């Protein structure tokens, strides 16, 4: 009987999942899928390891109105596929580990209560990350569950990178720069070490550009600083999140515009970013395809902020030996990569136009001083490896 792992990556409107065969010290994909459009246009799609379509089913919005309902639906679909296998554990992406957790942990009542206390730090994600854990606990209370944190990869930051210029007592109380997308950065940095070990051993910036976006500066594979801070609002502009913002704007909106804290929070998380800039869409593909000036401005704004972040992180690192693009926009938007490279020409970045258009693994031109890569991320695989190691006792 084969041992298998279920990996769950729950977002604000979708749940991605993969089923892996657990090997001695590695995982092998059996199938993977996603339930997208939770509460709006729910659709379950699943593919086998060979690309065969195993499921493609749509639902009424009321039938899948929450991440908990989505997890029940996924569980019902998966149950027949567990036949002949032993499920040894479930691994989950949890965005915020706060000051409490710097490594993956087995979930028990105390851990769950602690993670619930971090919901205000990541309101878009933390609650939906925890819902599937509760569903699995109710359905299979005997099954070990492992929480893997997006903040953990950054916990070794130098103190200068973790501080805000605020009273010290707040830092001691947990108000600090945590950084996010750590599971993605950990996977991509490991892939880069295999692909180009001499680059990975140096000073590298990885740009994780998706609906959520950030950049991370690494030295020999270790996170030194990230653009995201205390919450997942900070840093680069995102699909609907504002990114870096003068704190005085928040005070102005509350004190002068009469907005409540909840109204400001909703605007910053749900109505800002590419959507707010363009007034058209939060989808980079739509903005690139549009001929409207507002769309062009939003794309240019995003490109400028990404280039600025790379340059800033190069100062933290004391130089730059490589640049990596990953995640949805980073992997699939050559226009964005080209724009960022153009703005980093003073650092010696030059792209090969054909390689960039094709989304090749390496896209720098012959005259480029820096190697530039496009490395697909795989957060689910990283979660799977962490879960396996913890359950095997080798974490």
The distance of Cα 255 from the centroid of its chain, to the nearest Å, equals 33
395: pLDDT strictly greater than 60: no
* Structure confidence by residue, pLDDT tens digits, 181-218: 999 999 999 999 999 999 999 999 999 999 999 999 99
Strand 2-10 and strand 203-209: the pairing is unpaired
Q: What is the percent of the chain with per-residue pLDDT over 70, rounded to a whole number?
A: 99
- Rounded CA-CA distance 269/267 in Å is 6
pLDDT of residue 81: 82
pLDDT of 12: 72
Beta bridge partners of 320: none
**Residue of 25, 26, 131, 150 marked active site:** 150
CB 46 within 8 A of CB 32: yes
Write down the architecture of domain 2-149 according to CATH: 2-Layer Sandwich (3.30)
In this structure, are strands 105-106 and 145-149 parallel, antiparallel, or unpaired? antiparallel
What are the pLDDT digits (tens) for 64-114?
Answer: 988 888 889 999 999 888 888 899 999 999 999 988 899 999 999 999 999
- What is the model's pLDDT at position 163? 95
Q: Give me the pLDDT at residue 120, please.
A: 86
pLDDT at position 290 over 90: yes
Q: Token pair 């051993």 is at which residue?
A: 201
| 295-322 pLDDT tens trace | 999 999 999 999 999 999 999 999 999 9
Please, are residues 380 and 5 in contact by the beta-carbon 8 Å criterion?
A: no
**The pLDDT of residue 364 is above 80:** yes
Report percent pLDDT > 90 for the chain: 83
Residue reference for tokens 């109204």: 263
Q: Tell me the average pLDDT across 133-153.
A: 94
Q: Are 325 and 216 a contacting pair, CB within 8 Å?
A: no
**Is a pLDDT exceeding 80 seen at residue 124?**
no
pLDDT at 394: 60
pLDDT at 127: 87
CATH topology of domain 182-374: Nucleotidyltransferase; domain 5 (3.30.420)
Query: Where are the extended beta strands (E) located within 150-285?
Result: 203-209, 213-219, 222-226
The values of phi and psi at residue 371, to 5°, are -75, 140
343 CB neighbour count, 10 Å cutoff: 18
Checking DSSP bridges between strand 43-48 and strand 53-58, what pairing results, if any?
Answer: antiparallel
* Centroid of chain to Cα 339: 22
Bridge-based pairing of strands 85-94 and 213-219 is unpaired
| Start-end of CATH 3.30.420.40 domains in the chain | 2-149, 182-374
Nearest to 139 by CA among 192, 179, 79: 79
User: What is the C-alpha separation between 118 and 267, in angstroms, rounded?
Assistant: 20
- The mean predicted confidence, pLDDT, of the chain is 94
- Taking each helix axis from N to C terminus, what angle separates 379-392 and 182-195, rounded to the nearest 10 degrees? 90
pLDDT above 80: residue 42: yes
Beta strands in the chain, from DSSP E residues, in sequence order = 2-10, 15-22, 27-36, 43-48, 53-58, 85-94, 105-106, 145-149, 203-209, 213-219, 222-226, 322-326, 372-374
Pair 160, 298: CB distance under 8 Å: no
Phi, psi dihedrals of residue 19, rounded to the nearest 5°: -110, 125
Q: What is the pLDDT of residue 247?
A: 96
150 is catalytic: yes
> How far is 245 from 237, CA to CA, in rounded Å?
10
Please give the pLDDT value at position 39.
Answer: 85
Mean predicted confidence (pLDDT) in 22-29: 92
Q: Compute CA 191 distance to the chain's CA centroid, rounded to the nearest angstrom.
A: 16
pLDDT digits (tens, 9 = 90+) for 226-235: 999 999 899 9
Q: What is the pLDDT of residue 67?
A: 86
């Amino acid at each position: 009987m084969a041992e298998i792992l279920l990996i769950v990556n729950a977002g604000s409107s979708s749940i991605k999942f993969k089923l892996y065969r657990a090997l001695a010290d590695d995982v092998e994909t059996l199938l993977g899928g996603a339930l997208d459009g939770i509460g709006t246009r729910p659709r379950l799609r699943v593919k086998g390891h060979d690309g065969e379509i195993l499921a493609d089913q749509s639902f009424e919005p009321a039938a899948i109105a929450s991440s908990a309902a989505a997890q029940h639906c996924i569980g019902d679909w998966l149950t027949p596929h567990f036949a002949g296998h032993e499920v040894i554990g479930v691994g989950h992406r949890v965005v915020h580990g706060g000051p409490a957790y710097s490594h993956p942990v087995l979930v028990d009542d105390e851990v769950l209560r602690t993670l619930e206390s971090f919901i205000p730090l990541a309101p878009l994600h933390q609650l939906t990350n925890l819902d599937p854990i509760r569903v699995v606990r109710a359905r299979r209370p005997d099954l070990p569950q492992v929480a893997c944190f997006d903040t953990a990869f950054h916990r070794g930051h130098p103190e200068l990178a973790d501080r805000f210029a605020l009273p010290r007592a707040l830092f001691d109380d947990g108000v600090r720069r945590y950084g996010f997308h750590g599971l993605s950065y950990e996977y991509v940095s490991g892939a880069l070490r295999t692909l180009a070990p001499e680059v990975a051993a140096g000073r590298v910036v990885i740009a994780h550009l998706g609906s959520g976006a950030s950049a991370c500066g690494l030295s020999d594979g270790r996170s030194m600083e990230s653009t995201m801070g205390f919450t997942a609002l900070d840093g680069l502009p995102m699909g609907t999140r504002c990114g870096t913002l003068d704190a005085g704007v928040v005070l102005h909106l509350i004190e002068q515009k009469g907005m409540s804290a909840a109204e400001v929070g909703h605007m910053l998380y749900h109505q800002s970013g590419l959507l707010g800039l363009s007034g058209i869409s939060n989808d980079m593909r739509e903005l690139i395809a549009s001929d409207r000036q507002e769309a062009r401005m939003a794309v240019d704004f995003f490109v400028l902020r990404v280039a600025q972040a790379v340059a800033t992180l190069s100062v933290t690192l004391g130089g730059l030996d490589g640049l990596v693009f990953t995640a949805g926009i980073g992997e699939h938007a050559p226009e964005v990569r080209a724009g960022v490279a153009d703005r980093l020409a003073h650092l010696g970045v030059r792209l090969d136009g054909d390689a960039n258009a094709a989304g090749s693994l390496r896209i720098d031109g012959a005259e480029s001083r820096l190697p530039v890569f496009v490395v697909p991320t795989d957060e689910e695989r990283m979660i799977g490896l962490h879960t396996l190691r913890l359950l095997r006792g080798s974490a």
